[in-house]
Amino acid sequence: MKNLYAAAYACLMETDLEQKLLSVHQLYVDWQAGALLRENRPDVPVLAILVPGRPAKPELVHPKQVKQRKLTTPEGQKALLHAVAHIEFNAINLALDAAYRFRDLPDAYYGDWLQVASEEAYHFSLLRERLQDFNCAYGDLPAHNGLWEQACKTDHDALVRMALVPRVLEARGLDVTPGMMQRLREVGDESTIAILEIILRDEIGHVRIGSHWFRYCCEQRALEPEATFRKLIREVLQAPLRGPFYTEARLQAGFSANELEQLQAME
């Protein structure tokens, strides 16, 4: 049997795009089939990963150097698709890293994050196919590395990772996606809207998984989850969450009404 952690690491560090997408899906299939063994060998340390497996392109630049374009133009639609595809590609690596890095959680945790990785790969494939309609490939436009920088900042503690990646970064995606869909509706881009509807549906589930395992980690340490979350926002992010929040989606994703009120009060 293959070692889950070694297999997740190999997939995480894979740089060939086609092979990576195939490997991600196969990893989840193997887990479901019981073909992966959780063997945490003391002679094989868990590695810090400053640069995960990614193709040579896109060029990574400072976020301010990523041009914002109006969605009323094909160039703007292409730029949006490329930006969302880059987020989904990074999300593949983030989910794989969550499965690779943290070794002392129940089996269900690893199944959840391998499922997330597989679904992120599906989202990426949908977006990459749609980009072809604009004569564009993933990597043709520059992108930034903000998501992976957050992975590096949270690689020391599963509780911190579950709080600040799914419940902050991915949850922000829940907030902004309806607005993107509305702007695309105004220009008649129903094909992209259909993809974003799939992504929004699945991302609610991903944030819910993060909420579940964040609360699990809090319970193991006798911490109150909502106060702990706000503390991490203040001390690690050192900035309040930006609103407005898509309340309905966040409630489905494991936030409580009281928690959302508290977060809005922090703004």
The pLDDT of residue 65 is 74
Global confidence as pTM: 0.96
If you average pLDDT over every residue of the chain, what do you get?
A: 94
Evaluate whether 190 touches 125 at the Cβ level (below 8 Å). no
pLDDT of residue 69: 73
Question: Of the given ranges (9-13, 37-41, 124-128), which has the lowest mean pLDDT?
Answer: 37-41
Cα–Cα dist 16/220, whole Å: 39
Give the residue extent of every domain in the chain. Answer: 2-45+75-266
pLDDT at position 63: 78
Indicate if the pLDDT at residue 68 is higher than 80: no
CATH number attached to the domain at 2-45+75-266 = 1.20.1260
Q: What number is the average pLDDT over the span 36-47?
A: 89
Give 158-201 pLDDT, tens digit per residue. 999 999 999 999 999 999 999 999 999 999 999 999 999 999 99
Q: Average pLDDT, stretch 29-41? A: 94
- pLDDT tier, 267 (very low <50, low <70, confident <90, very high otherwise): low
Q: In the chain, helix, strand, coil percent, each to 5?
A: 65, 0, 30
Distance CA 189, CA 212 (A): 35
Task: Kindly state the tokens that stand for 93.
Answer: 């690596």
| Neighbouring C-alpha atoms within 13 Å toward the C-beta of 170 | 35
DSSP 34-92: T-EE----TTSPPPP-SS-S--S-SPB--GGGS----TTSHHHHHHHHHHHHHHHHHHH
Lowest mean pLDDT among 57-66, 90-99, 229-238: 57-66
pLDDT at 35: 97
What is the average per-residue pLDDT within 221-231?
97
